[in-house]
Amino acid sequence: MSTPTRRRIPLRFFVDFGLVALLIAGLVSYLASPSPDGLDSVVRDGCTEAGDQLTGECIAQNADEHALEEGPLAGYTVGGDEGLSGVSGVIGVLATLLVAGGLFWLLRPRRGRDPGSG
């Protein structure tokens, strides 16, 4: 009778976690509101919009355009296509999992090395 190795249990958990995160990002992204979020509405408190100009006194008057506003994933879409918000969510999850997984892999304890011999 074989027992599962210690290595398989965390790997299985991380694979399952990644699949659930991808599923949620791909499906729930389509339910996200295209309206301004809470932070956008708070920084606009005290101002009124006249075309592209904000009048009054609010924090948003001092805001500049974001450097990546014309980027391929700007506005939580792919190439500005509102119908691809789920794809941008999946891309974001994949990027996060790759960066986090790479960091965990680099920082993991190595077998056969004395932890105190840094």
Q: Where are the domains of the chain?
A: 11-29+71-109
Average pLDDT, the chain: 80
Instruction: Confirm if 45 and 35 have CB atoms less than 8 A apart.
Output: no
Residue 103 has pLDDT above 90, yes or no: yes
Where residue 23 falls among pLDDT bands split at 50, 70, 90?
A: very high
Determine the Cα–Cα distance for residues 84 and 89; give it in Å rounded to an integer: 9
Cβ burial, residue 25 (10 Å; 0-12/13-18/19+): buried
Alpha-carbon separation of residue 93 from 33, 40, 78, 90, 110 (angstroms): 19, 23, 14, 5, 27
Question: Can you give the pLDDT at residue 109?
Answer: 86
Q: What is the pLDDT of residues 35-86, one digit of tens each?
A: 667 787 888 888 888 877 788 888 888 778 878 888 888 777 788 787 787 8
Q: What is the pTM of this model?
A: 0.63
Which amino acid type is present at position 96?
A: T
Q: At what angle do helices 8-28 and 85-107 cross, to 10 degrees?
A: 160
* Bridge partner list, 78: 81
